[in-house]
Every structure is written in C-alpha cells, then in structure tokens.
Structure 1
Amino acid sequence: MLYPTNILPEDYFLEDSHLKASGTLKIIGQVLEEFGYPKLPKPLYGYHDVAGDLRKMLGGDCLEKKQYLKSLDGLPQNRVQHFSTASGLEGNTGHLYFFFNPYALYNVRLVLFGDSFFQRRFDIFKRVFSEVVYFRNPYILDDVVKVLEPDIVLTGNAERYLWHVPDCDNAKPWFMNYISNRYDSKKIPESDIKALTALFSGKSSREYRNMFGKKLTDLPRDIEKLSMLSENDIKTNADISFIKGMADYYEKEHPGVAYYLMSLVKGLDSYKSVG
C-alpha cells in the first residue's frame, strides 16, 4: 500500500479541487519509484483559461489559467485507442474506460478506481502507461483486479465525496449498473464492445492477443535510446510493429532516426515469432 506524500497546495488548481498536471505527475513518479521504474522524462506544460470547478459551483464565471501536459521530453505524442461504456450509461457512476497506447512510456497495465480526479488526468496516464483501465467507483473491485491482472492499481476519492462513500461490503454489485433503465447497450459502438470483450477475456486469450497483445513491446520509447537499438534487440512481431510506428512518427521531425529504424526492420516482416 502506497500513499502519496509529496503533494502540496500549489499542486491543485486555485479555484478547483482537482490536481494540476504537475501534481498528477508527482503521484505517478512516486508510484514508478516504488516499483523500480526509471524516472519520468522532463514534462513540457501548456496553459489555457478555464472556469474552475468550485468557482462554477458557486455561480461565478472567473477564469483560471489551467496547466496541462503538452509532452514528455523525447517521447512521441499520443496515438491512443479509446474504448468506453459511457455512451450507453446515463450519468457517470459505473462508467468504464479503456485506453490502449503501444507507444506509451511503459508497457504497463494500470487499473484506476476513483472519481473525476483520475478522469480529468487521462491525458497523462495514457501517455505513461500502455494500458489504462478506469472504473468510476469509490473503491477497488477485487474480482475485477483478479481478471485484469494489472501491474499497478490506484484508487482515489476526492475529499468532498468522502461523506457518502458506500460501504464496500454492502454496496450493490458493479454489474448492476448495467442492469437498469439507465443502460442501453445499443448506444455503445461495436468496436468498443469488441475491445472490452478482448480486455476481459484475459491476457492469454486469443481475443486479447490478436487485438492488443501483438502490439505491445518492451523496447525503449525515447528517441535517444531508439537510436541505439540493434537488430539483436528485435525479437517479436510486436517489436517490428513498434519500430515501424516510431519511424513513421519521426519521419518529418527526425528523418535520420526514422531511416535508421526502418533499416533495422527491413526484411524482418515475416519470420520473427511473437513471444
């Protein structure tokens, strides 16, 4: 069990109760350090004017400069697949989101249980972790964790919600969110249903391997380490697919790196076995 210890008042928005991007990166950094992962690259932030959450609740319309993450130094921008049950479920209780990004910094499955404090920071989680599965729920669902076999689990609840957190021993089962007149499965795209079916079929299932498993690799993500790869580092079809994707991404900005990466996988399309 790990509790964040380095969050300061300045890590929150002044007229809001949500964390800034820098505050979320602090939490992620502490988690990564605990599990022995390398430190995060240097973040590059941007700012835009938005009405704060608490300010809107009080009926005001003043704008606050909101910090967001533009990029992590040396890493490609997102090309993330996004799947959700949100379109078929009224309200937000029970929502499920799944983000898949084979180009994320770490080939790690992260499962989140919590409220909008996590939901507002999807933009960061999906850049750092290859798989992010989020449940709008106030506590950890043990059975779901057993099925999904995550590498890391985070749970969080905003202080303003703590007065009515249900007892996990007495709360209604999670699946009851989808057995009510609030839920209409016809509104969920077929592609989302297919992806979520693969996710919950398990990492070793044919459905998951065919849809996601062949795209995941442990090769480095940052441009400096990519430039030092050799043919000996390429061992799976996922490695080949990943290198091609990185070459495509860097083609305009770093054509020399892109050419080098493509030269590594030239002629390797068919004989590498998937590990």
Structure 2
Amino acid sequence: MIDRSDVLAAQGRLGSLVRRTPVLDAIVDTAAGPIPVSLKLEYLQVGGSFKFRGSLNAMLHSGADAVEVVIASGGNAGIAAASAARLRGVRCTVVVPDAAPAAKVAVLRDLGAEVVSHGDRYAMAFDRAVEIAHATGALQLHAYDLPDIVAGAGTVGLEIEEQVPDSNPILVAVGGGGLVSGIALGAAGRQVVGVEPEGIPTLHAALAAGRPVEVAVDSIAADSLGASRLGDIAMDVVTRTGVSSVLVSDSAIVAARSYLWRECRIAVEWGGATALAALCSGAYVPAAGERPVVVLCGANTDPATLNG
C-alpha cells in the first residue's frame, strides 16, 4: 500500500530532474458541443511520456549501487527506463515483445539500451526480464506495478493540483493503472476518471469483479495501453480513492488524436489521445460548469500516422 506521502517523497527526489509539464486551456469540440478543458501536456516529459518520472524515482530510491536495470516493455516504459538509465550512467536492458512498434524499438537503441526481443506478448517478455535480473543482479523495474513507479507517476497529480487548483475532474488513460492511481494519490480528493479502450478494459473489468482480472488486448492503443491486467497497486488505490472508468472505441481514439493534430498541432500516440476521446465522443459528459483536466500522457508515435 502506498499513499500521498510516497508521492510527495518522489517529488522531493525528482526535483528539477523531471520537466514540470505545462497546462494548456482550450475549447474542444465534442458531441455535446464546445467544452472548455485544461490539457496537461505530459507528452512533453523526458522520454516522451509520463513514465520517465516513475523510472527515475525507482532508480534514485534504490540507492547508488545499481549499475544495471532491466525492464519488460512494449515501448514507453522501456524508453523511460533507458532515458533514466542514461541520465544516471547505468546500463539498461529492455525486453520487448516480438510485435513491439519499430519506431519505439529504434528509440530504445538510440538511447543506448540493449534490446532483447522475446515472445508474442508482454507476459512472456516480463518472464524473460525476470530471468535476466536474476542472472545479472540488475535492478528490475516494472511498467506500472511497483510502488516507486506509481509514486513517481503521481507527481503529475501534484503538478495538476498546483496548476489547476479547483475541483474539476481529471481524465486519465489507463493501461496497467500506474498513472491513474498515482494521480489519484497526488491530486487527493479530486474526481479521477480512468479512460480505457473498449478492447482493453483492465480497470473497468477489475472494478466490476472487485479484483484485477485478465482481459483481452485488442485495440489500436495496445502499444501503450496494452496491459492485460490492472496492477495490484492500482487496484488498491482506485478502490480507496473512488476512481471510475469509462470506455471509448478505437474510432473515438483515432478521431481525438486527429483532432489534436489538426486543431492544436499536438502530436500524441494513440494512448495519449485516449483520455480526450472520452470527451470528444460523449463517453464522458461534464457537468454544468466543469472544466475537465485531460492528461495527454505520451507522444512516442510515428508522425506518418497523424492523419489516420
């Protein structure tokens, strides 16, 4: 179990090593008409996603003795770990599923990580990462289900509290749940809404079952939101803090991503547009007077796909 004190400790550790990402106020076209929103531009974080916060926090909290880290990741968590490892001057091995996006694998190699391709799904890559950690003594990181990872992600919530100091809800994309649970702790007392692709309803299914359960992974956003099960830490936090879930279609994600590029020249990946898709599609309709905060969480994408 972690709480807000862990998030505050992470903020103290990270300091100026992470970017304080800006908030952009905008009017967004939705099925219910134009809606004012505050966009948290977390895709501008080091490594192109929020995950850098958690990886660096875990490395800093582990002490100065770690000379190598290993992680299983389809992309963003690996990029974050490699970015943090380069900053700390340690080696990094990233185990990716065979179908990991070529653009993200290229970034991993550019960052100096050793990339190991193993298996046709994340669980198989994770098992291989465990083997490597045991064989080498490397510090093993996790994409979302590790206390320091969640606490680091929660610093996004602390920033939102300072930048948008009101009671408006926060909409967050959900994969394994590290970001949504971290923000729920960091922005204590605020309504937090998890937004998931219909084809990967990890949070939705867990809330219905009262525990994390395995779900199918079938969505355009699977490269960043492709966890097949909500993390145990996330389950504990969302239960304690009352996080809710809404589902969006792949077509809504595509439309929201295209809208961001067309209207704002903001380039994000499919997962990065998922939270906004809830507003644009009408899956989440704000109450009168609300100005939702929408977290744009990642931008590791192929620019050639921005119009599709």
TM > 0.5 between the two?
no
**Structure 1 or 2: more helix by fraction:** 2
After TM superposition, the score normalised by the length of structure 2 is: 0.24
